[in-house]
Amino acid sequence: MPLEIVRNDITKMAVDAIVNAANNELKGGGGVDGCIHRAAGKELLKECKTLGGCETGDAKITGAYKLPCKYVIHTVGPVWNGGKNNEKALLESCYRKSLALAKAHGCETVAFPLISAGVYGYPKDKALRVAVDIISEFLLNCDDDMTVYIVIFDKKAFTIGEKLFSDIKEFIDDNYVEEHSDRDSFYSRRLGAMKLCDREASGSRVSEFYSCDEECSVSDRPYPSTSSDSLDDRLKVLDESFSEMLLRKIDEKGMTDAQCYKKANIDRKLFSKIRSNPLYRPGKTTAVAFAIALELSLKETEELLKKAGFALSHSNKFDVIIEFFIQKGNYNIYEINEALFAFDQCLLGA
């Protein structure tokens, strides 16, 4: 997946380059800088001392010594001083310069901490916004296959902005149906679900609520039921597949393949597999990612998901969050992923 938000200690990331939130003197310090120098060993400081410091907003590259990555890119974020002192432009520059250095050194995988969001006091939600915006802009315009990680060290400190968080929470509270683990109610609900499936078999709904997809799934188009009708005959007239529908929708929207898979946060290799195999069955997060990239309505999203054997339900937080964003007409996959991360859900993309 081209942009991933992960929870980890950046010194444990086995990527091509990790980025360090350094200071102007490149002399090591606290926070992530301290962790990186401790894990890399004294040789790192020795090399840093040869670089002549680093301006705020700029970036410099060194070896990684005992770290599991190949390079460390040192960038110096701005100190937050109320937000009216060029902080945003300087922070953006940190990401741009670091990504350019990584690209120039042939890195395919790069991991960033949230620059300036610790000792330098940049509000975490704003720092995350800058990180996501600049990295996604870079990936959209980058011809190489790069994967960039935003590494969140302390999940408690992760914030997507109070307003968005409380809006989503309210939406979840209104729409999310808690699942019960109680056995009796599970069995009675399952029985009810079977009945529901029986009833719906004549309709057109495929439900994944009670894992009875196979029993009650129905075709888009009813089969004429004649005595000569064999399984073989039916298998010859399969409906449009997920991959076929996806390619058709890409054309209908006037998008190029690359525009679509980049917007879906899907890497080129996976897209090629889907394109070349009309019967490819993607995972749910991949299928939803394409629906978001194509800016499909809720109904169209359901149709596309159904092709991959999935549905959106109110008994699943992931689904409710996706519904929230689609209803708001917000198809920014990176913002959606931030929200999914905040609610401990799987992220969209491969």
Binding residues for ligand AR6, rule: CB under 6 A, are 9-11, 21-23, 29-33, 35, 77, 113-120, 151, 153-154, 157
CB 274 → ligand AR6: shortest distance, Å?
33
> Active-site residue numbers?
33
CB 152 → ligand AR6: shortest distance, Å?
7
Q: Of the two residues 39 and 347, which places its CB atom closer to ligand AR6 in the complex?
A: 39
Distance CA 274, CA 257 (A): 11
Q: Of the two residues 51 and 258, which places its CB atom closer to ligand AR6 in the complex?
A: 51
Q: Of the two residues 35 and 142, which places its CB atom closer to ligand AR6 in the complex?
A: 35
Q: Of the two residues 11 and 136, which places its CB atom closer to ligand AR6 in the complex?
A: 11
CA 58 to chain centre: 27
**Burial class (CB within 10 angstroms; exposed 0-12, middle 13-18, buried 19+) of 251:** exposed
Paired sense of beta strands 59-63 and 71-75, if any: antiparallel
CB 53 → ligand AR6: shortest distance, Å?
12
CB 118 → ligand AR6: shortest distance, Å?
2
The answer for residues whose C-beta is within 8 angstroms of residue 49's C-beta and 6 or more apart is 26, 27
